[in-house]
């Protein structure tokens, strides 16, 4: 009888382990670290040869072949003067933008994002993450609309090491992630608009607003489909 109970316990432990492994394989982080090396090697070689379109195509292939459709990790980001933001606590689709202070921002970019945030604050949560230390983003953080969660992460902080190695050191800066309410990754968009300093403010503002609006459209459509019963409910 005792052997029988041990067998039952072993069966459940094995089932739990297999389930946990399957869940881990669905995560964005697992699929990035498993698949990115050959793509990065070939893309870097293309960029070094000046074959920029080929390099971009290779990285886009990684995104579409292995990353879209995965489950976004429940990463947490440090907010200024607030507790850490855990993504699974956000009960709305998330539009996550990653920056560094040295690459932000095009003329009118923050203002365009602020306008979008005000318009869709009930529908989506915009999260901006800077790959910088806290003291480096204090001034720029105040420029964002209050509904935007402005966060920071840096590899020298113990809690941020894996986060930075997964998102920053693999996909670069700036990168945007579209995450639905179920933590499913809908899309990844790399890069931004390099409008330069000579372009008029109004034109740069419009270019950035249209870029942001185009990026969040899949989240808005997905949310509308779920509410109408045409999508898969969480």
Pick from 127, 104, 123, 121: nearest CA to 208: 104
CB contact set of 74 (below 8 Å; sequence gap of 6+):
86, 87, 88, 183
| pLDDT of 184 over the 50 cut | yes
Query: pLDDT, tens digit, for every residue of 55-111?
Result: 888 888 999 999 999 999 999 999 998 999 999 999 999 999 999 887 756 788 999
Most confidently modeled range among 167-181, 187-201, 212-226: 167-181
Q: List the structure tokens of 162.
A: 């894996």
CA end-to-end span of the chain: 42
| pLDDT of 47 over the 90 cut | no
Helix (H, G, I), strand (E, B) or coil at 52: helix
Order of strands across the sheet that contains 94-99: 85-86, 76-79, 149-152, 125-130, 94-99, 175-179, 185-190
pLDDT of residue 25: 86
pLDDT of residue 197: 60
pTM of full prediction above 0.85: no
The DSSP code sequence of 192-233 is: ----TTTS-HHHHHHHHHHHHHHHHHHHHHHHHHHHTTSS--
Which carries the bigger pLDDT value, residue 91 or residue 10?
91
Specify the range with the lowest mean pLDDT, choosing from 46-50, 195-199, 210-214: 195-199
Distance between CA atoms of 150 and 221, rounded to whole angstroms? 25
Pick from 195, 214, 191: nearest CA to 204: 195
Evaluate whether 208 touches 108 at the Cβ level (below 8 Å): yes
Q: Give the relative orientation of helices 28-48 and 52-62 as an angle to the nearest 10 degrees.
A: 170
Pick from 1, 186, 8, 151: nearest CA to 81: 151
Distance between CA atoms of 78 and 143, rounded to whole angstroms? 18
Give the pLDDT band of residue 193 (cuts 50, 70, 90): low
Mean pLDDT, rounded, for 13-34 = 68
Give the pLDDT band of residue 116 (cuts 50, 70, 90): very high
pLDDT of residue 210: 94
Distance between CA atoms of 155 and 102, rounded to whole angstroms? 16
C-alpha torsion sign, points 11, 13, 17, 22: positive
pLDDT of residue 115: 97
Domains defined for the chain, CATH in brackets: 21-71 (no CATH), 73-234 (3.40.30.10)
Phi first, then psi: give them for residue 14, nearest 5 degrees: -65, -40
């Amino acid at each position: 009888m005792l052997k029988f109970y041990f067998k039952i316990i072993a069966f459940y432990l094995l089932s739990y382990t297999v389930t946990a492994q399957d869940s881990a394989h669905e995560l964005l982080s697992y699929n990035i670290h498993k698949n990115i090396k050959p793509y990065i090697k070939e893309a870097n070689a293309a960029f070094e040869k000046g074959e920029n379109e080929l390099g971009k195509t290779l990285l886009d292939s990684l995104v579409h072949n292995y990353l879209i459709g995965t489950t976004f990790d429940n990463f947490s980001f440090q907010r200024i003067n607030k507790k850490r933001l855990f993504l699974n606590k956000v009960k709305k689709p998330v539009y996550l933008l990653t920056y560094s202070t040295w690459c932000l921002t095009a003329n009118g970019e923050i203002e365009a994002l602020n306008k979008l945030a005000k318009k869709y604050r009930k529908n989506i949560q915009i999260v901006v993450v800077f790959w910088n230390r806290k003291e480096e983003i204090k001034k720029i953080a105040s420029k964002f609309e209050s509904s935007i969660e402005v966060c920071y992460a840096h590899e020298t902080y113990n809690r941020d090491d894996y986060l930075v190695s997964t998102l920053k050191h693999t996909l670069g800066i700036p990168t945007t992630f579209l995450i639905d309410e179920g933590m499913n990754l809908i899309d990844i968009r790399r890069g931004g608009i390099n409008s330069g300093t000579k372009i008029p403010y109004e034109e740069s503002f419009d270019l950035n607003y249209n870029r942001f609006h185009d990026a969040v459209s899949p989240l808005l459509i997905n949310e509308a489909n779920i509410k109408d019963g045409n999508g898969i409910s969480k």
